[in-house]
Structure 1
Amino acid sequence: MSETAKPAAEHSATTDEIDLLDILIVLVRQKKWIAGWTGVIGGTALVTSLLMTPIFTSTAKIMPPQQQSSGLAAMLGQLGAVAGAAGSIAGLKNPNDLYVGMLESQTVADNLIQRFKLMQKFEAETMVDTRIELSRLSDISTGKDGLITIAVDYKDPKFAAELANAYIDELIKLTQTLAVSDAAQQRLFYEKQLQATKDKLAQAEVSLKQTQEKTGMLQPDGQVQAIIANVAQLKAAIAAKEVELAAMRSFATEQNPDYLRTQQEIHGLKSQLAKLEQGQPEVGNFMVPTGKVPQTRLEYVRKLRDVKYYETMFELLAKQYELAKINEAKDSSSIQVLDKAAPADRKSKPKRALIVIAGILAGFFLGSLSALFRDGERGRSDKFKKLKNTILGTT
């Protein structure tokens, strides 16, 4: 046998000679030593658990909106091939992840920090430290049952419940300002367009009033009224179609049949408008181009035409807006609170029994290990002395 193989063989022989009986004999002989270790570490664990601050957990559960419900599915079904290309939130593997992300967002955290003055409460120096502490106390998760659970740990059970419920309040506020569903996106789009048209209508009415005061005209003749009404209706129809086309761009491609048809309709309406405003009237048609209107009335006609245009536009957009609100309502986009957080009447942490048991087991293990080395050090067991020297690499 080579010289390098001898230490390995000796170590194997020494290890094989140590059986369970030898270990039990040493443990019995060193029972006081082991009991001392177990008592000290177990007692330390008990004292530590008693000194730890009790923590209470308050839990709230919510049921987030069900995406892609029947109302929205029916609307996408009418679009045919567009439905396959529509970018929808339902494309997420789990739609609940969106709301969990919103609850864990910096926006929600900052609102909670301001609402409860958490920077002073946590005695944090910066907003970053406060957010980290808030995240440490909060546990937001989603389960297989489709519910989102918000759990808050804190030494004050009342504050823990208030903070958990505040998360729900902030989520509801956030969903009201963000479009998180297809129906909500459409409603928000038409809402902005309607408000802009309303402002322009008000400006046009003020401008018409100023023109009336300056020119002294109250009403043009019937022919001019008909011209104004037709031009306003055509312009409003064009604008409404353009708004519809802009809405379709969010979920349809340029090759979509509905998209192409809307473009053709806009082109046809613009052609009619150009003929009415600049071209020659058709034979037998009492309508005349607006360029033929006497110059003294032209300014008044233009102002009145703007008012009529924005009135018609406002009516068309109002109908689209109401329809979008109905679709959003059908889309079940409201967050429902299943369980509201209440102050806990029992602490959740620390688990004193587990801490003491872990301390006792750790004390017994360390005491037993040290007893084996201690017994070998005193020379009572050559086997364990050789084993200790082999492990430590000494001779």
Structure 2
Amino acid sequence: MIALVIALGTFSAAVVAFLLPNEYSSTVNAVPPKRPQTGLESVVSGLSSALRDFGLTRLGGARTSSGGYDFIVVLQSRSLLDSLIERFDLVKVYEITDARSPDSARALARKELLDRYEIETDAAGNYLITITDRDRYRAAAMANAVVEIANNIARELDARESQVFLAGIQQRLDAALARMNALADSLEAASRKTLMYSPLDQARAAASAIAEAKAQLLSQEILLGVLQERYGDDDPATQQQRRVVESLRQKVQDAENRPGFVGNFSLREAPRAAYDYLRYYTELETMMKLKAAMLPMLEEVRTSLVRNSPSLYVLDPALPAIKKSSPRRSLIIGGAFVASAILALLLALVMDTLRKVREQLECITSTSALEHGADGK
């Protein structure tokens, strides 16, 4: 009996194992760029480079890691899965025929695809993307398509991010240009009215110094706004930048209001004509410096919008698998053999126990009958 149970269990498992279709797995090895930069990172980098002329140190705080999302979010996105389903007609491949609507069919196909889709990252930062399918060639094509589709999605995300920050910086630049034109008109009117065209050397030095300080302040305020939009008010880099802005604002206020900057008097105590001239002149120079700092950075961000640099580079493309990855028929048959043997032993043990119990009951019954017979005699 034990041999019969083992034979039946093993034979049934073997039949099932050989009826299961072969599955093939293909893996693509992809690496991120050496120095990835999003639109916001280009903005911060451009501001930091341009403001070196103002004597500023490196901007952005002590942040060492690149900001933004983890790329695995793109690899696991519904958009990527739906693109694979549509490109390879996976609803038909997975034989999904009981869906009530196209959306439910796509959802079932997405669930089936997730069971056959695996993403791993190694210590070096590489992405190992594995697709399992009944067709070895389709599995390789799908794995390679994952990288292509993910790069397209990442380009769209980077373009949206760059456009948002570009619009904000462009708005600030337009406001600065409008202010610069108004200051030029005011300076021209003040010069015509007062006939003041060349102040003393001390006044020119004061104007230049205040212009430098205000240019630093405005540039730092713009960078603070960018950091607040991207990282929030509680980020260490934002808080450090806010302290820099407050320090520069205090310096500008001291220069304009306290005596000793251009002499033993403040600018507000100087003759009205000279004060108006210096104020218009310094603000105009500030706007010109700000414009010169922002224009190259804006051009760099505009260039990044049309740049087609991928977010992942294929190091080892996926190839059609030579051997199947599943089912492992030997393990199925071996496991069935062990399970059948255990089941057969348990059945034998139960039957032997039942036999012994029955014999004991028969023995007890016989003994009782003999005792009753003896009592009758």
One fold, TM greater than 0.5? yes
Contact 2:9/2:336, CA 8 A, preserved across alignment: yes
Corresponding residue for residue 369 of structure 1: 346
The secondary structure found in structure 2 opposite 1:140 is strand
The secondary structure found in structure 2 opposite 1:344 is coil
Contact 1:245/1:262, CA 8 A, preserved across alignment: no
Corresponding residue for residue 3 of structure 1: none
Distance, in Å, in 2 between the alignment partners of 1:282 and 1:56 is 84
The secondary structure found in structure 1 opposite 2:70 is helix
Query: What displacement does 1:253 show?
Result: 1.4
1:138 aligns with 2:117: yes
Distance 1:164 1:39, change over 3 A: same
The within-5 A match list for 1:244-283 is 244-249=223-228, 250=231, 251-253=237-239, 256-261=242-247, 263=249, 281-282=273-274
Select which of 332, 336, 349 maps to 2:313. Answer: 336
Deviations, residues 69-90 of structure 1 (Å, cap 9, x unaligned):
9x999x799448932xx59557
Distance 1:269 1:43, change over 3 A: farther
Contact 2:28/2:143, CA 8 A, preserved across alignment: yes
1:50 aligns with 2:14: no
1:37 aligns with 2:5: yes
TM-score, with structure 1 as normaliser:
0.54
Query: What displacement does 1:312 show?
Result: 8.7
Distance 1:283 1:240, change over 3 A: closer
1:243 aligns with 2:222: yes
Distance, in Å, in 1 between the alignment partners of 2:149 and 2:254 is 48
Deviations, residues 295-350 of structure 1 (Å, cap 9, x unaligned):
xxxxxxxxxx9xxx9999775433124667999xxxx9942322211221221111
Q: Which ranges of structure 1 fall in alignment gaps of 5 or more residues?
A: 1-32, 205-219, 228-232, 290-304, 387-395
Corresponding residue for residue 12 of structure 1: none
Corresponding residue for residue 52 of structure 2: none
Deviations, residues 129-166 of structure 1 (Å, cap 9, x unaligned):
23211211111122345332211111111221122122
1:350 aligns with 2:327: yes
Give the letter aligned to residue 258 of structure 1: V
The within-5 A match list for 1:20-31 is none
The within-5 A match list for 1:3-82 is 33-65=1-33, 78-79=57-58, 82=61
Distance, in Å, in 2 between the alignment partners of 1:341 and 1:311 is 54
Distance, in Å, in 2 between the alignment partners of 1:157 and 1:137 is 13
The within-5 A match list for 1:115-264 is 115-122=87-94, 123=96, 124=99, 125=101, 126=104, 127-178=106-157, 191-193=166-168, 242-249=221-228, 250=231, 251-253=237-239, 256-261=242-247, 263=249
The within-5 A match list for 1:96-107 is 98-107=70-79
The secondary structure found in structure 2 opposite 1:355 is helix
Contact 2:61/2:240, CA 8 A, preserved across alignment: no
TM-score, with structure 2 as normaliser:
0.56
Contact 2:33/2:311, CA 8 A, preserved across alignment: yes
Distance, in Å, in 1 between the alignment partners of 2:251 and 2:134 is 66
Q: Which ranges of structure 2 fall in alignment gaps of 5 or more residues?
A: 50-55, 179-184, 193-210, 232-236, 258-266, 361-377
Deviations, residues 254-278 of structure 1 (Å, cap 9, x unaligned):
774432255568989999xxx9xxx
Q: Cα RMSD over matched residues? A: 5.4
Distance 1:121 1:311, change over 3 A: farther
Query: What displacement does 1:65 show?
Result: 4.9
Query: What displacement does 1:365 show?
Result: 1.7
Distance 1:159 1:282, change over 3 A: same
Contact 1:138/1:151, CA 8 A, preserved across alignment: yes
Give the letter aligned to residue 192 of structure 1: A
Contact 1:56/1:344, CA 8 A, preserved across alignment: yes
Distance, in Å, in 2 between the alignment partners of 1:132 and 1:333 is 28
Query: What displacement does 1:51 show?
Result: 0.7
The secondary structure found in structure 1 opposite 2:326 is coil
Deviations, residues 30-53 of structure 1 (Å, cap 9, x unaligned):
xxx111111111111111111111
Corresponding residue for residue 27 of structure 1: none
The secondary structure found in structure 2 opposite 1:98 is coil
Query: What displacement does 1:194 show?
Result: 5.9
Contact 1:242/1:266, CA 8 A, preserved across alignment: no
Number of aligned residue pairs: give it. 287
Distance, in Å, in 2 between the alignment partners of 1:342 and 1:311 is 58
Contact 1:253/1:259, CA 8 A, preserved across alignment: no
Distance, in Å, in 1 between the alignment partners of 2:245 and 2:35 is 25
Corresponding residue for residue 263 of structure 2: none
Give the letter aligned to residue 137 of structure 1: R
The within-5 A match list for 1:306-317 is 316-317=293-294
Distance, in Å, in 1 between the alignment partners of 2:248 and 2:130 is 51
